[in-house]
């Protein structure tokens, strides 16, 4: 068996491969070699070699026009992440019930440092359009699920979030630290979060925490509805019931945040 390559030789190779993969975003899901080079900051020759190796393994796929996309192999590996896999499997029956009853958007998210990641989203037949997607990241300060996760995050996470510029999505988006702190306090007191016209002007999002067997908040579930057709209180009662059911269904050993 050949000896493993020294870390100083393998490390930079892995770092460059990650830079190539990290160049892909929801807005750049298809790129040529030159585009990948520009977005990753690596020479075209280096990107060409790395892309060929990644495509051979299945992390990238190349279409008939010579453009590269993220490959299914990478999606298969990513789907095994324990925080997403176990949580999604436990929550999915309840998310589907919510979707069938309301015919609105149902979302499940976890916190990843100072952002949230959507683990699942089910769009109902009459659902209001949203800016989210499964696997997508979003700000913690605007959405219902984000407010729940931030309300129960460590203080140092909150301070880092508030120290950075906060994206404004609509004229109603909270960007003032004092206003956000007050919203988080309200979330903890009443047990659910309300995001009214924070992301789009026609949407109302209500979210509730999902807790593990120790009582720690490990995820959040939300309903995003047409704001003209529902009140936060009515949505919250249905959502809190589902959140408690999901919490009870979680495996006893849920990975830490």
- Report yes or no on 100 lying in a domain: yes
pLDDT of residue 198: 87
- Report yes or no on 227 lying in a domain: yes
pLDDT of residue 190: 94
Specify whether 51 is located in the same domain as 105.
no
pLDDT of residue 242: 93
pLDDT of residue 149: 97
* CB-based contact 76:91 (threshold 8 Å): no
- Report yes or no on 186 lying in a domain: yes
pLDDT of residue 122: 87
Cα 112–Cα 16–Cα 34 angle in degrees, nearest 5: 105
- CATH number of the domain enclosing 48: 1.10.10.10
Specify whether 101 is located in the same domain as 154.
yes
Specify whether 54 is located in the same domain as 115.
no
- Report yes or no on 1 lying in a domain: no
DSSP at 235 = H
Q: Is the pTM of this model over 0.95?
A: no
pLDDT of residue 150: 97
pLDDT of residue 141: 93
Specify whether 234 is located in the same domain as 114.
yes
- Report yes or no on 19 lying in a domain: yes
Domain enclosing residue 47, as ranges: 7-77
Say which residue the tokens 């919203």 belong to: 183
> Per residue in 89-144, pLDDT tens?
889 899 999 888 888 889 999 998 899 988 888 876 666 666 667 778 888 998 99
Whether the predicted pLDDT of 84 surpasses 60: no
- Report yes or no on 257 lying in a domain: no
Specify whether 147 is located in the same domain as 28.
no
119-128 own/partner pairs: CB under 8 Å, 24+ apart: 119/83, 119/84, 119/87, 119/88, 119/219, 120/88, 120/91, 120/92, 120/95, 122/95, 122/96, 122/98, 123/99, 124/99, 126/226, 127/103, 127/224, 128/104, 128/200, 128/202, 128/203, 128/224, 128/225, 128/226
- The whole-chain average pLDDT of the chain stands at 85
What's the Cα-to-Cα distance from 138 to each of 103, 111, 116, 128, 149, rounded to whole Å? 23, 10, 5, 18, 12
- Report yes or no on 199 lying in a domain: yes
- Total domain count, the chain: 2
DSSP at 166 = -
- Report yes or no on 254 lying in a domain: no
> Per residue in 23-81, pLDDT tens?
887 678 889 999 999 999 999 999 999 999 999 998 899 988 889 998 888 876 766 66
Residue 133, classified by CB atoms within 10 Å of its CB into exposed (0-12), middle (13-18) or buried (19+), is exposed
Average pLDDT over residues 158-186: 93
Whether the predicted pLDDT of 6 surpasses 50: no
Specify whether 70 is located in the same domain as 88.
no
């Amino acid at each position: 068996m050949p000896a493993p390559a020294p870390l100083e030789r393998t490390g930079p190779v892995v770092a460059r491969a990650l830079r190539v993969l990290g160049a892909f975003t929801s807005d750049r899901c298809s790129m040529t070699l030159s585009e990948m080079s520009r977005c990753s900051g690596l020479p075209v020759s280096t990107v060409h070699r790395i892309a060929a190796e990644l495509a051979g393994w299945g992390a990238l796929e190349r279409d008939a026009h010579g453009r590269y996309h993220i490959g299914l192999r990478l999606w298969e590996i990513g789907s095994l992440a324990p925080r997403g896999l176990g949580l999604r499997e436990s929550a999915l029956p309840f998310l589907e019930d919510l979707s069938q009853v309301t015919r609105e958007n149902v979302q499940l998210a976890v916190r990843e440092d100072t952002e949230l990641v959507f683990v699942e989203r089910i769009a109902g037949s009459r659902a209001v359009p949203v800016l989210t997607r499964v696997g997508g990241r979003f700000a913690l300060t605007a959405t219902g699920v984000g407010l729940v996760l931030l309300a129960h995050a460590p203080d140092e996470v909150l301070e880092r979030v508030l120290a950075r510029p906060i994206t404004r999505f609509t004229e109603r988006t909270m960007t003032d630290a004092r206003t956000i702190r007050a919203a988080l306090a309200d979330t903890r007191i009443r047990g659910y979060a309300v995001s009214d016209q924070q992301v789009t002007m026609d949407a109302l999002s209500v979210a509730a925490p999902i807790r593990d067997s120790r009582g720690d908040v490990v995820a959040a579930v939300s309903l995003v509805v047409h704001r003209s057709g529902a009140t936060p209180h009515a949505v919250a009662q249905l959502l809190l019931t589902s959140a408690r059911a999901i919490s009870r269904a979680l495996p006893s050993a849920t990975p830490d945040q």
